[in-house]
């Protein structure tokens, strides 16, 4: 499989989300235009400045890039990057990222700097390289997909962000409050992978496609996304007051040592209710919530995303040490 044609004069079609992160959108736009002008690169910016515009602009950017032999670029947080990647996957276009979010796990695991000027230098000088994409019922996830408690945590975190702003401290505070509330539902699921089936009762099923995030929480199969697989993590249904302890162990990079955690790598896995009746379920993909039909099929996408990125990712290499 060969990368898309790419050169010093390849035009850029950039989807810039004004709602991502805490940065000044005008300053980011000016930095993009200045860097492209200095490099002699044509660019077209699609400014997402209201609800409902992200996906249409992502599709238009891909259409223009296909017609003009260009690069599709996502400028925003992991949710924005996910939406633009969904439109780009399978298009034959190269993909670029200018991270503007709070955690930026996708860009960090691939060595793309958080600073806009430095990320622009990567975008303007590096070639496209193949990176793995995860799918759940054909919905793209680049970082993770989850159901149960973790999806609920993400949903409640958005309320905290609206009230207290976007920051890592806000996200951590929201997680602690959600876990301390109790009353977390357990799911009875049937998992099928590698020719075997297993019934599982769990509070949350998390599927990771980001080696950096998995290394930071201390999962044994953290490099599964670098080896053509995904990593499943299930939280066993212990007493609810044990959940904050799991959060602490994850923060300390020791989640894989917890008795309440089951984890394993896979390339394709079907998840369905252990009993009939459940037709749809709320699933979070890269922090965005979706209602998906059961059964769920988690798998590695058959083709890669051609991401413009450096050959080495220093933060991921450091996490492996």
CATH, range 139-300: 2.60.200.40
> How far apart are the C-alpha atoms of 94 and 12, rounded to whole Å?
10
Paired residues of 202 in beta bridges:
187
- pTM of the predicted model as reported, rounded to 2 decimal places: 0.86
The pLDDT score that the predictor gives to residue 150 is: 60
CA-CA-CA-CA dihedral for 127, 1, 82, 186, to nearest 10: -140
Q: Which of 14, 207, 20, 17 is nearest to 104 (CA)?
A: 20
All structural domains of the chain with their residue ranges: 12-132+303-320, 139-300
The pLDDT score that the predictor gives to residue 130 is: 97
The pLDDT score that the predictor gives to residue 261 is: 82
List, as one string, the DSSP characters of 266-313: ESEEEEEESSTT--EEEEEETTEEEEEESSEEEEE-SS-EEEE--S--
pLDDT single digits (tens) 75-96: 999 889 999 999 999 999 999 9
> How far apart are the C-alpha atoms of 175 and 156, rounded to whole Å?
8
Mean pLDDT over 188-205 rounds to 91
The pLDDT score that the predictor gives to residue 294 is: 94
> How far apart are the C-alpha atoms of 299 and 287, rounded to whole Å?
18
> How far apart are the C-alpha atoms of 312 and 321, rounded to whole Å?
15
Paired residues of 230 in beta bridges:
266
Beta strands in the chain (DSSP E): 12-17, 43-48, 71-76, 94-99, 128-131, 134-136, 139-141, 144-148, 187-193, 196-202, 204-208, 230-235, 261-266, 268-273, 280-285, 288-293, 296-300, 305-308
> How far apart are the C-alpha atoms of 47 and 25, rounded to whole Å?
9
> How far apart are the C-alpha atoms of 165 and 210, rounded to whole Å?
25
pLDDT band at 153 (very low <50, low <70, confident <90, very high): low
CATH among 3.40.50.1370, 3.40.50.10330, 2.40.10.230, 3.40.50.2300 for 12-132+303-320: 3.40.50.10330
pLDDT band at 184 (very low <50, low <70, confident <90, very high): low
């Amino acid at each position: 499989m060969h990368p898309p044609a790419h050169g010093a004069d390849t035009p850029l079609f950039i989807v810039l989300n004004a709602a991502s992160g805490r940065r000044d959108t005008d300053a980011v736009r000016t930095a993009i235009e200045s860097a492209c002008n200095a490099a002699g690169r044509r660019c077209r910016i699609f400014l997402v400045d209201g609800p409902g515009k992200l996906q249409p602009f992502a599709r238009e950017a891909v259409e223009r890039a296909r017609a003009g032999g260009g690069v599709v670029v996502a400028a925003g947080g992991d949710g924005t990057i996910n939406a633009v990647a969904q439109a780009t996957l399978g298009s034959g276009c190269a993909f670029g990222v200018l991270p503007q979010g709070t955690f930026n796990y996708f860009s960090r695991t691939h060595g793309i700097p958080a600073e806009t000027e430095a990320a622009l230098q990567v975008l303007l000088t590096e070639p496209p390289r193949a990176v793995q994409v995860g799918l759940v019922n054909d919905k793209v996830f680049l970082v993770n997909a989850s159901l149960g408690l973790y999806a609920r945590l993400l949903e409640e975190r958005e309320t905290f962000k609206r009230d207290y702003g976007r920051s890592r401290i806000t996200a951590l505070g929201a997680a602690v409050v959600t876990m301390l509330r109790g009353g977390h539902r357990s799911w009875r699921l049937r998992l099928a992978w590698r020719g075997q089936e297993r019934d599982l009762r769990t509070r949350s099923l998390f599927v990771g496609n980001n080696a950096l995030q998995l290394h930071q929480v201390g999962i044994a199969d953290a490099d599964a996304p670098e080896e053509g697989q995904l990593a499943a993590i299930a939280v066993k249904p212990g007493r609810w007051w044990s959940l904050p302890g799991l959060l602490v162990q994850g923060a300390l990079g020791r989640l894989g040592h917890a008795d309440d955690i089951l984890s394993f790598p896979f390339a394709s896995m079907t998840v369905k209710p252990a009993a009939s009746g459940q037709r749809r379920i709320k699933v979070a993909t890269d922090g965005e919530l979706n209602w998906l039909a059961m059964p769920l099929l988690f798998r590695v996408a058959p083709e890669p995303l051609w991401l413009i990125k450096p050959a080495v990712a220093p933060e991921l290499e450091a996490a492996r040490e």
